[in-house]
Amino acid sequence: MSRYLHAKKPDPTDVLASDLSDDLRNQIRSISVFPPLSPQWVALADRLQRICAIALMEQHLPGAERNAGVTIWEVDKLAVRFMIEEARLAVSMRSLSEYWQCVENIQANPAQLEAAAGPLHMTPAELKAKMEQFESSLGLLLECVIQHVEALQTLDMASFLGHVKNCLHFVLQHPEHLAGYTVVDKAQPVVVLLYVYDLFSHIEELRNDREIMGMLVDHDILPLMGAFVQQHQARLKDPFKQVALQAMAMIADHELFDPAEHFKTVDQKRPFALLKDLCDQFVGAHPDLRASLAPLSALCAQLRTQV
């Protein structure tokens, strides 16, 4: 009996941490696919904002840096770990893709926004802000997750790259769309550039690089990325332009890369060739980038001779 009387009391800090961890897991477990602009979807947008804030905070904790050979279960990133353990990655990707289809539908028929706002007791402006909240929260949460190879290994790559294509293609067709964002950096057409960078940072670990390279060709990912960066240089901040250039350079440097497969028309080659000037600007300002951007610079120079 005495051993129970003298047992060490739980540390209140540990109890609080456990409660917060359980709450975070439950919040992540609740992520599902709801019809965009429905009441359930609005509630999900609010939960995602909180989950994303935690995931972004955990990115900056000591020991959270990317280290080769270190698994997600060995670092203090609970939000990312719970996303994988609760199998929420595929669900989140589907939810984001369905949301983006809604964005395209509203672009084609703006009256849909006002029609959806009424039943939610929101103004169209308030609903538009909620859409941006959903897009940025879920988009950045997914970016935190797919920085890790364990997440990429579970990803439906065809759906993933299909979403990247849809976002870039839409904004190239409707360049004014980006002007409607409060924070352009968090818009999906910008964040998908980070997705491709994350993917190719782990391409050798995934061991299905031949399949992935084939999907890039099928979805015209490289020409679309180049055209997007060229079209929106003025809107993109330097860190995003740099990540996009490095992602494209990693693709161009892959042993299976064949320019003729990726660039079939002059219309695809022309905007991409113009990126040579942007590469030169970055190398001039940051000489340490010369080696990593060299494959892209060489590709741009090659395409310039063909347009």
Four-CA torsion 249, 253, 254, 257, nearest 10 degrees: 90
pLDDT of residue 11: 45
Distance between CA atoms of residues 133 and 14, nearest Å: 32
pLDDT of residue 66: 54
pLDDT of residue 59: 87
Distance between CA atoms of residues 77 and 59, nearest Å: 7
The answer to whether 212 and 199 have CB atoms below 8 angstroms apart is yes
The answer to whether 220 and 167 have CB atoms below 8 angstroms apart is no
- For the stretch 50-85, pLDDT in tens is 999 999 999 887 655 555 456 777 777 899 999 999
Q: Got the DSSP string for 145-165?
A: HHTSHHHHTTS-HHHHHHHHH
DSSP, res 10: P
Chain-centre distance for alpha carbon 287:
27
- For the stretch 11-54, pLDDT in tens is 444 433 566 789 999 999 999 999 999 999 999 999 999 999 99
pLDDT along the chain (307 residues), means of 10: 44 52 94 97 97 92 58 81 95 97 97 96 97 98 94 94 98 94 94 97 92 97 97 94 97 97 96 96 96 97 94
Average pLDDT across the chain, whole number? 91
Element (H, E) at 279: helix 275-285
Residue 26 amino acid letter: N
pLDDT of residue 83: 95
